[in-house]
Homo-oligomer: A and B are copies of this chain.
Amino acid sequence: MDVLARAHALEAAGRRVLHLEIGEPDFTAPAPVVEAGMRALRDGRTAYTATLGLLSLREQIAAFYRSRFSVEVPASRIAITSGASGGLLTVAALYVGPGDEILVPDPGYPGYRHFVRAFEGKARALPLSPADDFQPTAAMIEKAWGRRTKGVLLGSPSNPTGTLISAAELARIARLVAKRRGVLIVDEIYQGLVYGADPSTALGLPGEVVVVNSFSKYFCMTGWRLGWVVLPPRAVRGFEKLAQHLFISAPSAAQHAALAAFLPESLAILEQRRSEFARRRDFLVPELKRAGLAIPAEPRGAFYVYADCGGDARRWCLRLLEKETVAATPGIDFGANRTRRFVRFAYTRAMADLEEAAARIRRFAGGAPSA
């Protein structure tokens, strides 16, 4: 937060800041989506929708799971939400009561803790290790599971580490959580953004599995505020009631627009962008290593590199910003598990910016006394 404030101050003073701290694609929605959104506005399709969202969009998502992931998910289990945030919030409201414990990854997306705490639950951190690709393991969860534990929340690809959980480990976790009669909430917000691997889903695993997804990242629709949740059949009615009270419905024009996100021409654009993100990752990872940073777990998804700067990362980030006007995010934003030495770099800017940022980071790290 102080890095962000200082970056804004530098920009206000006329300096050019290279933004490697931004967790948002630099691409806007594909043209067919924008056009569909404009048509929806023009045609006045802007009334409240059903709380669970447009049936046509829910069916479209079901078809997407079928064609891309070979998973059968009926539209009746899919709820359209006000961003993944709205989904996570409603899921937390549904599953978390006062004193209930949810196991969350550390490092991990800070929102996880906040959603659990908002409903007076306890977010218990699972300290992750680079040896496990910064992902939880069934063994870890078994050890951490306590009397008040209600479930596990994990994200793959992960923010901030960009790492993926293996299908085998996730299946072990699902079986364990099912045995404990808990809920497994999987954040698949960065689902489409994996490199050198195929996107995957937790759907189809046994037990009470809830999947949260979003149109923000792969589909590049951040400010449209649209996401979805896939629920176990018996949770749908409870989710709907809560969402009805807490949100009424997700933005309407965005829902109509999102229908066009699954058109072949949109998907072609998005796959091209995925290649571009891969190209950026393939550039940035070796550059950061060359600058002397350690990347103990290979990032294979999202648009983040989580690197060990060898010292106090908050100080490192502030000095990098002052000296080279490159902004990055200190690890402490993502938890307490050795996060003090880590920095999250986002590759959500064009190659030219990344090249310049990398040169500056190398100059900075090469010339910097060890922090």
Contact = CB atoms under 8 A, between A and B. Distances in A.
Contact of A114 (B34, B38, B85, B245): B245
A170 interface: no
Interface residues of A, number: 46
B47 A223 contact: yes
Interface of A: 24, 28-29, 34, 37-38, 41-42, 44-49, 82-83, 85-86, 89, 93, 97-98, 110-111, 114-115, 118-120, 221-225, 242, 245-254, 257
A interface SS class:
helix
25 contacts: A28-B47, A37-B41, A38-B42, A41-B41, A41-B257, A46-B221, A46-B223, A47-B222, A47-B223, A48-B223, A83-B247, A85-B247, A86-B247, A89-B246, A114-B246, A115-B246, A118-B119, A118-B246, A119-B119, A119-B120, A223-B251, A224-B251, A225-B249, A251-B251, A253-B253
B254 A251 contact: yes
A24 B48 contact: yes
Contact of A250 (B118, B225, B249): B225
B83 A37 contact: no
A85 B44 contact: no
A222 B83 CA distance: 17
A264 to B, nearest CB: 21
B38 A222 contact: no
Contacts of A46: 28-29, 221-224
A257 to B, nearest CB: 8
Nearest to A38: B38
Contacts of A114: 242, 245-246
A225 B246 contact: no
A208 to B, nearest CB: 21
